[in-house]
Amino acid sequence: MRDWAIEQFEIPQRTVLNRKVPKKTFFSQGDLSKKEKELFTSQIEAIYLLSVMNQQSMNIAPYQSEEHHYAEVVWIYVQLRTNEHVTRIIQAIHKSIPNPVVLITESHEQEWLLSTCHKRLNKNDPTKVVMDEPLLTEWFDPKSTNNSYERLLNALKCSNQSFVDLFKFYDDLNKWIRCTPIIEWIDCYPTESEKRDQIISRVNEVNMKKSQLEELKQKQTKVLDFGTKMELHMEMKQMESNIESLLSELKELCN
């Protein structure tokens, strides 16, 4: 599947390494906890460095600002033994590598979970980075005929990203991953990058309202007064209606 991934994402051949990386390499670089090291040992079958993209290998400019320093984009391929604790494993891998990582995680059933994570310079120590919350797709069969996931894989092809500099290149990939929740919500995925920011904005709104709806549900279970329960019920119905409206907007943006 690794060779297929390189071909699928159109990773430039001059950037390809596709070599196995010892797990212990991550222990020293990532300041991993004892539990994280145990997860690497027990849950990960193998880790591969698929590609290193930089100015030398790809003729794409590095990016430097007060907040970011992107000199390389690294593609990592991880084969798991089980899908347990996958979120924590992914966080540990991103934490272990100071450069931005495109992470392809393969399950024992040969399904994929993709992840990206922006990293910022530590204002107190510019030699260190602070990572954002990693973005994760759902597990999916990369060779399925599901139109939405076919669109996702096509959107993530290297040739479809911005080549202005490494930050914009990685940010493009990151934004496509940000759009993936709509696949589970409405079985749809955008094809036009011009609509991507609008879609991300709606995704953020839906997530916020889903969180608020869950809070209302929990609050209702603790209330004894019938009148208050009915008020909360009406609020929940309105919130559900708002979510449906946003999902309708997302469908239109995908068409």
Do 154 and 234 belong to one domain? no
**Between these two residues, 237 and 24, which has the higher pLDDT value?**
237
Do 133 and 107 belong to one domain? yes
CA dist 69 and 91 (Å) reads 20
Do 144 and 199 belong to one domain? no
Q: What does the pLDDT average to over 37-51? A: 93
Judge whether 184 lies within some domain: no
Collapsing DSSP to helix, strand or coil, 238 comes out as helix
Do 171 and 200 belong to one domain? no
Do 13 and 112 belong to one domain? yes
Judge whether 29 lies within some domain: yes
The pTM score is 0.92
Q: What does the pLDDT average to over 231-253? A: 94
Judge whether 189 lies within some domain: no
For 68, the domain range is 2-178
Number of domains present in the structure of the chain = 2
> 125, 144, 178 — which closes off a domain?
178
Do 31 and 141 belong to one domain? yes
Judge whether 190 lies within some domain: no
Tens of pLDDT, residues 73-103: 999 999 999 998 999 999 999 999 999 999 9
> 145, 178, 211 — which closes off a domain?
178
Judge whether 136 lies within some domain: yes
Helical spans, DSSP H, in 21-81: 24-30, 34-43, 55-58
> Strand 69-70 to strand 119-122: parallel, antiparallel, or no bridges (unpaired)?
unpaired
Instruction: Classify burial at 68, counting beta carbons within 10 Å of its beta carbon; exposed 0-12, middle 13-18, buried 19 or more.
Output: middle
Do 200 and 172 belong to one domain? no
Do 138 and 210 belong to one domain? no
Judge whether 203 lies within some domain: yes
Percentage of the residues of the chain whose pLDDT score is greater than 70? 99
Do 148 and 112 belong to one domain? yes
Judge whether 186 lies within some domain: no
Do 142 and 201 belong to one domain? no
Judge whether 188 lies within some domain: no
Collapsing DSSP to helix, strand or coil, 65 comes out as coil
Ranking 45-49, 164-168, 189-193, 248-252 by mean pLDDT, the lowest is: 189-193
- Length of the chain equals 255
> 129, 147, 178 — which closes off a domain?
178
Do 211 and 154 belong to one domain? no
Do 70 and 126 belong to one domain? yes
